[in-house]
Amino acid sequence: MKKIFLLMTGILFLIFETNAQKLPLGPKPFKAPCTTLIGNTLLPVAIDTAKGRSVANNDIIWENGDVILVRFMDNVGSQQLRNMIMQHAKSWESYANITFKFVPDNTPITNIRVKLGGREDKIGHNSRLGIGCNDVPQNLQTLNLDTSDFIDYKAYLDQYKNGGAFLQYLKSKGTDFKNYTYKDFYNDVNAFKDPNMKWNYEAMRGTTAHEFGHSLGLLHEQSYPNGIKWNKDTVYKYYAEYQGWDKEKVDFNVLEASDFFYTNGTSYDPVSIMHYPVEAWQTLDGYTVGYNNDLSEGDKKIIAALYPKGQKVSKLAVPKIKITNIGYGDVKMDNVKKGILIYPSFDISTSAVLGSVYFVARLTTEDGEYYIPTANENYSWNKMAATYIKMKLLPSSKTSYNKSGQKNLELFFPFKEMPDLEGKKVKIQFSVYQDDVVNNRYQKLTFNFLSSPLTVPK
């Protein structure tokens, strides 16, 4: 009887070994990190060192109550997948006075365009920040999602090990199981056309909400000042190897970015949906943060403050001023008035908050490479020879200056107020600065033009 039992046990073991596959070889591929670039959007002008802040850029948030038009690109993605992505994106609407309105793929003008990709095209997960989406041409995406990260690979690994449909697919294509790696496995899962795709719903929810949080102006929480004791050497090596980022880009986008953010009175939130996962090897003290797949209470608080329901304008809103349709304008000598007349040409529009700007015309050397210093305090911008006008702009307004032959903005620089330049050639550089009283800085909005050389008369 004992021999029969042992024989049956051996037969069952052989049957199991015949049908079950060993685990794939090598390391498991990791989830694509969010590669949203903070540094491409912010102007590194001043540093706010306050301790309590939210990781948000108030300069780029939408207007409170905005309806943001969103479409998918290239007719990619099943309706089931799209429905889930739309649901997770709209989770922000429960706490913010903002609407993501998903429109047909052929809608000509939208604010956000979503490209669904995979491992093969290496688009990763990333988004343009806030109203920066409006600066992207309509034929290009503003938000990328690597949908291969949304697949439940464990379900297919179980099929691989236990003789399911996925294993039969591998056998039908003549797979070499002796040298089968995790990389092969992930690629085969993505190529396997499963009519009943197995999804990792948590990963899909967390990643989608994270990227749409960026599109609302939220930034990475791990960049909160002094929140994490980074092991910088290992972080630099990681991003250099897997993202091709140099030290400067890692510093600005991962380690130091929030030094440029507005203070909104919040504290570090390790469970924020906007927080990167942090591995122990990335920190000096072994601190870790897992994958956050749900909006935290801190996320709900800050998004409700940036886009408050029941209010027309958020208390955190700052003036947002946009310069468009910039032309050369007109610069000329006036020997009657004894000075230079400058007529810049552009359109300027404002948000719902009253703002102030400076229109600045500075003297440069003939080659346009250097500003000209001055001791004249009345005709100076940062101790460089200049004339300027400060102007308050009405909320939600749009104005055109010096367009269609109209002269409605003039800057005048008297010869007698200039440094000793008689007989020398100079250029005029025109620029616009926003008076950022919140952070005690002047934020440069644009350079309009650099004039042709002018000879200052004797």
| Confidence label for 200 from pLDDT (cuts 50, 70 and 90) | very high
In the predicted structure, residue 438 carries a pLDDT above the cut 90: no
DSSP, res 416: G
Is domain 58-149+199-306 classified as CATH 3.40.50.300?
A: no
Q: Answer yes or no: is pLDDT of 260 > 50.
A: no
Measured CA to CA, the distance from residue 230 to residue 80 in angstroms comes to 40
Does the pLDDT of residue 84 top 70, yes or no? yes
Among residues of the chain, what percentage have pLDDT more than 70?
83
User: Does the pLDDT value for residue 3 go beyond 80?
Assistant: no
Maximum mean pLDDT: which of 85-89, 119-123, 302-306: 85-89
Q: What's the mean pLDDT in 395-421? A: 91
Asked if the domains at 58-149+199-306 and 321-455 fall in one CATH topology, the answer is no
Average pLDDT of span 414-428: 89
CB atoms within 10 A of CB 98: 21
Give the mean pLDDT of 208-217: 94
Average pLDDT over residues 417-441: 80
Tell me: pLDDT of 53 over 90.
no
- Compute the mean pLDDT over every residue in the chain, rounded to the nearest whole number: 83
Domain boundaries, the chain: 58-149+199-306, 321-455
User: Model confidence over 8-47: pLDDT tens digits?
Assistant: 444 444 444 445 677 787 777 666 767 776 544 332 222 2
What number of other Cβ atoms are within 10 A of residue 50's Cβ? 12
CATH class of the domain at 321-455: mainly beta
Instruction: Considering only residues 355 and 233, tell me which one the structure prediction assigns the higher pLDDT.
Output: 233
**No. of helices (H) and no. of strands (E), the chain:** 9, 15
Task: For residue range 283-308, list pLDDT tens digits in order.
Answer: 999 999 988 999 999 899 999 999 99
